[in-house]
Amino acid sequence: MKIGDKVRFLNEVGGGIIQGFQGKDIVLVEDADGFDVPVNKKEVVVIDTDNDNLERIQPKENKESIGKSNKTPTRTSYAKEEEEDVAFEAPVVELKGGDILNVSLAYVPEDIKIINATSFDAYLVNDSNYYLQYVYMSGENKAWKVRAKGEIAPNMKTWLESFMQSDLNELEHTCIQFMAYKKDKAFELRPVFDVTLHLDTVKFYKIHCFNQSDFFEQPAMVYDIVKDNVPYKQFRISGEELKQQMLSPKYSEKQNPTPVIPKEQNNKAEKLTVDLHIEELLDSTTGMSNSEILNYQLDKFRETMKLYEGRHGKHIIFIHGKGNGILRTAIINELKNKYNRSCNWQDASFQEHGFGATDVMIR
């Protein structure tokens, strides 16, 4: 960390250019308005550096004096302190229990009050006594793109990138690879970790999916990459395996038990909401074709209709999404062909459910 580095504040909005230092712990950051803001070194992260900046960066008062005097400009006292402190690195403080590896990937909205328009910041959180050499990527199959890489110190978090909701398609499949080690002391050897996540992009539109955590002052969505030395693994099932399970007799028995309806659901006026988005029904769709996904969603629709058959006056809200309208069209066709005499249906309330929901009432 040196004069000229571009930094970002960890716990506040914004950042700027390092102009100097005050002692060993305070860095002076020039913000967008031209003010030098004193900030603790631990509260900023370097996002861009210039190896030539020591030659070209000069304090503001020296820049103003050029042309007014023949004297060679001199650095201010805090710049001198920086020259003496350029190689300084704060000693690592190891925490009790920190030799158990815990690493998380976190997403923090810039302004959660405008969740549909705000940007998001991605962070890597190192909750351990190890240094991590990491690579943060996105992609699928053999096509992956490096989005950030570097080293993170023990018991620290580092900013990876900022993105908008329009970028979520690129982030649906995310991978973190890293190796853990200690400097200048012996440590227990750890394997190289390679963890791939399937992000539920729908959650980035829902405020309740962002919660308080030990790592951020504002609400965040936190995914465990490694928990207590164990790498995270998502449950995956291929389309063929799913089909075999659904056709097996044991599966049929489990899927068609005698329905037990709780007392609180006996109120006919109460509306039941069923979200048919595939990410709400399955942890992963790896290996499934589009037709298999559609059939799985329709099976859930049919199961719900069968469960509430004969419940006169009951309202069921099916959330199918706007998309390209394939699922909605399939549901409307089912209602016309099989439930024309027993049900009425219409678009659900836009204020409550937005576009992409159908309200079915049992006659």
State what percent of residues in the chain have pLDDT above 90: 31
| Neighbouring residues of 77: CB distance < 8 A, sequence distance ≥ 6 | none
What span, in angstroms and rounded, lies between the C-alpha atoms of 218 and 112? 9
Residue 56: the pLDDT is 39
What span, in angstroms and rounded, lies between the C-alpha atoms of 155 and 106? 15
| Neighbouring residues of 188: CB distance < 8 A, sequence distance ≥ 6 | 99
What span, in angstroms and rounded, lies between the C-alpha atoms of 96 and 85? 30
Q: How confident is the model at residue 148 (pLDDT cuts 50, 70, 90)?
A: very high
Chain segment 191-235, per-residue pLDDT in tens: 999 999 888 888 898 899 899 988 999 999 999 999 999 998 754
What span, in angstroms and rounded, lies between the C-alpha atoms of 44 and 48? 12
What span, in angstroms and rounded, lies between the C-alpha atoms of 232 and 211? 20
Q: Which segment of 16-25, 99-108, 160-169, 295-304 scores lowest on mean pLDDT? A: 16-25
Mean of the pLDDT values across residues 82-92? 54
**pLDDT reading at 64 higher than 70:** no
What span, in angstroms and rounded, lies between the C-alpha atoms of 26 and 43? 10
- Look at phi and psi of residue 309 and say left if phi exceeds 0, alpha if psi is from -120 to 50, else beta: beta
Q: Which segment of 1-15, 118-132, 149-163, 186-200 scores lowest on mean pLDDT? A: 1-15
CATH of domain 239-362: 3.30.1370.110
CA 111, 115, 116, 122 dihedral sign is: positive
Decide: 259 and 309 in contact? Cβ < 8 Å: no
Biggest CA-to-CA distance, the chain: 96
What is the residue type of 47?
Answer: I
Residue 76: the pLDDT is 41
Residue 240: the pLDDT is 57
Decide: 22 and 78 in contact? Cβ < 8 Å: yes
**86 closest CA partner among 54, 57, 58, 60:** 54
For 103-231, which CATH superfamily applies? Smr-associated-like (2.60.40.1600)
Q: Which segment of 3-7, 71-75, 125-129, 254-258 scores lowest on mean pLDDT? A: 71-75
Alpha helix ranges (H) inside the chain: 53-56, 60-65, 77-85, 168-171, 239-247, 249-255, 278-281, 290-307, 326-338, 350-353
Mean pLDDT across the chain: 79
Residues of the chain with CATH 3.30.1370.110: 239-362
Residue 44: the pLDDT is 82
Chain segment 48-63, per-residue pLDDT in tens: 765 544 333 344 433 3
Chain segment 248-298, per-residue pLDDT in tens: 665 545 455 545 444 444 444 568 899 998 888 887 777 778 888 888 889
> In whole angstroms, how large is the CA radius of gyration of the chain?
28
Chain segment 107-136, per-residue pLDDT in tens: 999 999 999 899 999 999 999 999 999 999
Q: Tokens 């009790």 sit at which residue?
A: 96
| Six token digits for residue 12 | 């506040």
Residue 32: the pLDDT is 77
What is the residue type of 86?
Answer: V
Q: Residue 225: enclosing H or E segment and its boundaries?
A: strand 221-227
What span, in angstroms and rounded, lies between the C-alpha atoms of 109 and 341? 47
Residues of the chain with CATH 2.60.40.1600: 103-231
Decide: 229 and 100 in contact? Cβ < 8 Å: yes
